[in-house]
Amino acid sequence: MKLPILLIALVAMVAAKSAPGRMAARYDHFRIYQLTIETNLQMEELKKIHEHISIHFLNELGAIGHKYNVIVGPLFHRALEKTLKFLDIVFEVIVDDLQKLIDDSAVGNDSKMEWETYHSLDTIYEWIDQECAAHDYLECKVIGQSYEGRDIKSIRLSKRPGNKAIFLEGNIHAMEWISSATVTFLLNQLINSEDPEMQRLSEEYDWIVVPMVNPDGFVYTHEVERLWRKNRRPNGYRNESGDCFGIDMNRNFDYHWGGAGWNIDEPCDHWFGGEKPNTEVEIISLQNFVSSFEDGYIRSYMAYHAYGQYVLLPYGHSNTEFPPNYEQMKRIAAAFSDAAADVYGSTFTYGASGLLNYVVSGAAKDWAYGVKNIPFTCTVELRDKGTFGFFLPSNQITEVGLEVTAGLKALVNKAAEEGIFD
């Protein structure tokens, strides 16, 4: 087998699974460094840095001219900084103690669903069940089970026959807790808000929501390893640490699968896209669910991720190829960006993901556009731009929800103006 070039064995990580609610892996005094990569030589050297320093990359390494965040334990702080200075790589310590940041964003009062703290899968699912029981315009289904047998739940809000639908997807990446928090915030607004505009949107459009695509990985981030990204299926490979688990499910969709992306072919790495497309039961369940609706019904597909504050449009597999209605999609994305910024000043950059972010294949938004012919699809990368990154404190959940709600209102209205729902 091909051995991974980025197997991260971080100091002080405990591999054994602990009791629910308690982290096995701890990151006391681990730092997050933000690196600015300006030359190709710096990028090539950064890709090799794991050979002598234990390091965890939080972002896929792509184009130069971007900032990349890495986690390094206390034993390697000095070695990393010495290496970075030698390479003339500009760096900044943005988090001095990762464990404190993780503790600050941990699950708080989990007795009932609200949006001031992060919640466990059980609490999220209990809230979904309660809302489904309380409203006859909600159709709730289990669209499949995960590898470990957990339900993947969906909610379809439909108050009027003949509506076109908008699809919201959350937490395909396990560590991105703000994703499902935001998707459930939006769903709650559609169900319970007294805002006339939200009420109108819930009347004039159907809404299909899958808040938790990756329940196994999500539970794993709560109980064992906060930094876990993939699902939890053993993928058949091993390295010096033992069996390798998981597929990056947002690299596993069968649309230009495997054509681009850093380390998508490294089985033990965070971004492994699988040996072939459509290998994961969670992805098959999601695709079958989308395909169960008649063609032309779903007119927008939005996947929510962290982080970076982007509205990423197709395509991801190329930075030179663009969709036929790319200019139209940019106008719609611009409406989201402008409206979201009006709330707290958060700026969302918009454009093709392969152009703005990095080239990568097999993402959900590209499959929804390229295979299902849904005319507006995007990945919304939520707060922030890297200060907290994947560990956004829970006191920002409501702010994120409010700015994304404002953005969503404007996006839907602009999409309607552009004829997306015709």
pLDDT (mean) for 341-348: 98
pLDDT greater than 60 at residue 228: yes
31-37 and 310-313 as β-strands: parallel, antiparallel, unpaired? unpaired
The CA distances from residue 408 to 230, 245, 267, 304, 398, in Å, are 27, 35, 36, 12, 15
pLDDT band for 11, please (50, 70, 90 cuts): very low
Alpha helices in 64-192 (DSSP H): 77-86, 98-104, 121-134, 177-192
pLDDT greater than 70 at residue 21: no
All structural domains of the chain: 1-104 (3.30.70.340), 121-220+271-417 (3.40.630.10)
Among candidate residues 131, 223, 381, 403, the one labeled active-site is 381
Amino acid 20: pLDDT: 42
Q: Tokens for 248, please give them.
A: 């990056």
Distance CA 411, CA 416 (A): 9
Strands (E), 5-133: 31-37, 55-57, 66-72, 90-95
pLDDT (mean) for 118-142: 97
381 catalytic per annotation = yes
Amino acid 42: pLDDT: 96
- Sign of the torsion formed by the C-alpha atoms of 238, 244, 250 and 254: positive
Amino acid 241: pLDDT: 82
Q: Check whether the bond before 315 is cis (ω within 30° of 0).
A: yes
pLDDT greater than 60 at residue 17: no
pLDDT greater than 50 at residue 362: yes
pLDDT greater than 90 at residue 264: no
pLDDT tens-digit readout, 144-157: 999 999 999 999 99
Burial (CB < 10 A; 0-12, 13-18, 19+), residue 53, is middle
Distance CA 96, CA 29 (A): 6
pLDDT (mean) for 7-20: 38
pLDDT tens-digit readout, 292-340: 999 999 999 999 999 999 999 999 999 999 999 999 999 999 999 999 9
Identify the CA nearest to 124 among candidates 182, 191, 195.
182
pLDDT band for 240, please (50, 70, 90 cuts): confident
- Sign of the torsion formed by the C-alpha atoms of 157, 310, 269 and 394: negative
- Measured from the Cβ of residue 15, the count of other Cβ atoms closer than 10 Å reads 11
Of 360 and 173, more confident: 173
Amino acid 133: pLDDT: 98
Of 333 and 358, more confident: 333
pLDDT greater than 70 at residue 8: no
pLDDT greater than 70 at residue 258: yes
pLDDT greater than 80 at residue 7: no
Question: Which of 232-241, 261-270, 301-310, 361-370 has the least mean pLDDT?
Answer: 261-270
pLDDT (mean) for 399-411: 98
pLDDT band for 107, please (50, 70, 90 cuts): confident
With tokens 């103006």, the residue in question is 417
Compute the CA torsion angle 155, 159, 165, 167 (nearest 10 deg).
-20
Amino acid 111: pLDDT: 83
Distance CA 239, CA 185 (A): 40
Amino acid 10: pLDDT: 44
Contact between 364 and 280 under an 8 Å Cβ cutoff? The reply is no
Q: Is 123 helix (H, G, I), strand (E, B) or coil?
A: helix
Of 241 and 200, more confident: 200
